[in-house]
Amino acid sequence: MRTRHLAVAWLALMVCASFAVSAEDTHFKVIVNPKNPIIAIDRELLRNVFLKKRVVWSGGGTVRPIDLSTKLAVRERFGRSVLKKTPAQLKSYWTQQIFSGKGVPPPEVATAAEVVRYVLANPGAIGYVPADIDVQGAKVIEVK
């Protein structure tokens, strides 16, 4: 009987944890240039794009991720949810990439409006903005 109660408690905990992750994702939306044919992106691919492990779209063309300032809360939420890194871990990752000559972080802008402008101006661009921002013609894509 005790094993059954533990199993039920474990299941309840897992269900609550899955809702917490889903709720976190509602804080931001991912956008691309309207000319980009992509309508959805796998979370792992999105992670690889922002960590610059993936630099070319499947249909060709350079992927151009754009990042928000570390001063904005949405950046930390995106980093934890998609990149699976805390701000300190992300800083360490980019420091290692830079010093080993493997790469540099995506360009960083101060506002969501700048992310939208960058995405609209660059066909290969991808960015994220707070969920309540008007994307002014940029295409919002689903994160799977």
Point out which residues pair with 31 in neighbouring strands: 127, 140
Residues with Cβ within 8 Å of 54's Cβ and at least 6 positions away in sequence, in order, are 45, 48, 63
Count of residues in the chain: 144
pLDDT mean over 69-76: 96
Predicted model pTM: 0.82
Does 16 or 97 have the greater pLDDT score? 97
Does 57 or 12 have the greater pLDDT score? 57
Given a contact cutoff of 8 angstroms between Cβ atoms, the answer to whether 142 and 28 are in contact is no
Residue 2: its pLDDT value, please?
A: 55
Q: How many helices (H) and strands (E) does the chain have?
A: 5, 7
Given a contact cutoff of 8 angstroms between Cβ atoms, the answer to whether 136 and 120 are in contact is yes
Tens digit of pLDDT for each residue in 13-45? Answer: 444 443 333 434 569 999 999 999 999 999 999
Residue 59: its pLDDT value, please?
A: 87
Query: 3-class DSSP state for residue 25?
Result: helix
103: left (phi over 0), alpha (psi -120 to 50) or beta: left
The fold of the 28-143 domain, in CATH, is D-Maltodextrin-Binding Protein; domain 2 (3.40.190)
User: Distances in Å between the alpha carbon of 5 and those of 8, 9, 10, 16, 18?
Assistant: 5, 6, 9, 17, 20
Cα 37 to Cα 52: distance, rounded to the nearest angstrom: 20
Average pLDDT, the chain: 87
